[in-house]
Amino acid sequence: MPLYQYKAISEKGKKIGGSIDADSLQEAKQKLIRLQISVLKVELLSEKQLKTALKKKELFSLTSELTRLLQAGLPLFEALSALEEKYKGQKIHSLLLDLCDQVKSGESFSRALGRHQQTFDLLFVSMISNAEKTGRLAETLEELSILLQRQMKIRKQIVSALLYPSLLATFCLVILLSLLFFVVPSLSELFEGRELHPLTRIVFACSAFAIQAKSLLTVFSCLILGGIGFLCFSSKGKFWGRKVCSQLPFLKNLFAKIAFVRFCRAAATLLDGGLPVIAAFRQARSVMGHPLLEELVEKAERRIEEGSQIYVPFEKHPLIPPLVPRMMAIAEQGGRLPFMMEQIAEIYEDELETYLNHFASLAQPILLLILGGLVGFVLLSVLLPLTDVSSFIT
């Protein structure tokens, strides 16, 4: 059933908007009239408008609420309809309306989710597809909500570890630029014609260069901000950013641990749901976000298909800790691979948390010393000539 968006005036005289499903434009108008509102505009929702991208937190809330409704005994369509009623007028509403429409028309839930790839990734859709075959939809949604919660936890730890150093660096940069562009030039006339200390001459020269090249510096700053925006918000930018970060000496191990924890969590959930090893690895690979490790897992899939043991492709790789293939070998012999993958994820998630805590505790004082030294250098160079009283008398 097509979806229509509308703008209307409520009984209280306020402008309202939303979405409604109907077989035709005329039926949509009649439904709105029955709601006793004055319709201003009704139009068909386009495919682009339907494909709303949800944030991780919104997706987690949706998954958790749908899980609870299914566990309470509601059929899937009734659960989706209840959520659609709850989120009326919000960003998620059009997505829920489309899911309701697809399920009502006889489409499978996984295919309906597949229409919204910006929100539901390949792993999410694949797990729901497997759950539909085995009749474990509520259990799978609960596993997905736990998986999303752990991903959000890791992201929160990374943000909290980087936030304070970033704010400190920004603040000190503003102070430094203020000194170079405003304070130092205002003192240049005071020291004109005097023999200055080498430190003072260096700072005055830097200030003069910054003022003369301010247009160039502005363009350079805009390019840097544009590059950061490209890396953060563009899909191609994210891909290249991950590729570069995965090869930097300091960040290489951090990003590898994050990606491997994601892989192990996803693989454990898929294997526990009854998927074969190769299919589970293939789907879990899609959430790693690490090009080098994705290539490794892809090679592992091919070697397992050729008859190799599961742990062999992961041996002697610089980004894979030696304990991982050993644990995989034990799990393969005992037939407990899902449990062992979950244990590997637990171990390296704890290591990751410790690593991030150490990084935050070390980065803050080191950055403070570096930036404080720069600002102190500028201030000292300005204050040194002021201590020479005899030159003022002369």
Residue-wise pLDDT for 290-321, tens only, equals: 888 888 889 988 988 888 888 888 888 888 88
Which of 69-73, 126-130, 310-314, 367-371 is the most confident on average?
69-73
More confident residue, 110 or 358: 110
Is it the case that residue 389 has pLDDT exceeding 60?
no
Q: Where residue 67 falls among pLDDT bands split at 50, 70, 90?
A: very high
Please list, in sequence order, all residues whose beta carbon lies within 8 angstroms of the beta carbon of residue 322, skipping any fewer than 6 positions away. Answer: none
Distance CA 8, CA 25 (A): 15
Q: Where residue 268 falls among pLDDT bands split at 50, 70, 90?
A: confident
Pick from 123, 152, 154, 153: nearest CA to 140: 123
Is it the case that residue 392 has pLDDT exceeding 50?
no
334 neighbors 136 (Cβ within 8 angstroms):
no
328 neighbors 310 (Cβ within 8 angstroms):
yes
77 neighbors 103 (Cβ within 8 angstroms):
yes
Q: How many CA atoms lie within 13 A of 298 on its CB side?
A: 8
Is it the case that residue 324 has pLDDT exceeding 70?
yes
Is it the case that residue 156 has pLDDT exceeding 80?
yes
207 neighbors 181 (Cβ within 8 angstroms):
yes
The domains of the chain, with CATH numbers, are 3-45 (3.10.20), 56-147 (1.20.81.30), 148-394 (1.20.81.30)
- Return the SS3 of 189: coil
Residue with tokens 């510096």: 217
Please list, in sequence order, all residues whose beta carbon lies within 8 angstroms of the beta carbon of residue 244, skipping any fewer than 6 positions away. Answer: none
pLDDT tens-place string over residues 199-234 = 778 888 888 888 888 888 788 888 887 877 776 667
Pick from 8, 50, 1: nearest CA to 25: 1
Q: What percent of the chain has pLDDT over 70?
A: 84
pLDDT tens-place string over residues 238-255 = 667 666 766 666 677 778
Determine the Cα angle at 53 with ends 297 and 84, to 5°.
Answer: 120
Distance CA 139, CA 336 (A): 20
Long-range CB contact pairs, 201-209, < 8 A, 24+: 202/381, 203/377, 203/378, 203/381, 203/382, 206/180, 207/180, 207/181
Count of helix runs (H) and strand runs (E) in the chain: 18, 3
More confident residue, 111 or 233: 111
CA distances (Å), origin 183, targets 80, 217, 240, 377: 62, 18, 40, 14
Which amino acid would we find at residue 239? Answer: F
The pLDDT score that the predictor gives to residue 218 is 82
Which of 3-17, 159-173, 341-355 is the most confident on average?
341-355
The pLDDT score that the predictor gives to residue 63 is 92
44 neighbors 2 (Cβ within 8 angstroms):
yes
Pick from 183, 166, 172: nearest CA to 370: 172
Calculate mean pLDDT across residues 176-184.
80
The pLDDT score that the predictor gives to residue 43 is 67
289 neighbors 264 (Cβ within 8 angstroms):
no
Q: Where residue 387 falls among pLDDT bands split at 50, 70, 90?
A: low
* b/e per residue 104-135 (b: at least 16 CB within 10 A): eeeeebbebbbbbeebbeebbbbbbbbbbeee
From the number of C-beta atoms within 10 Å of its C-beta (0-12, 13-18, 19+), residue 165 rates as: middle
Confidence (pTM): 0.69
The pLDDT score that the predictor gives to residue 64 is 92
120 neighbors 113 (Cβ within 8 angstroms):
yes
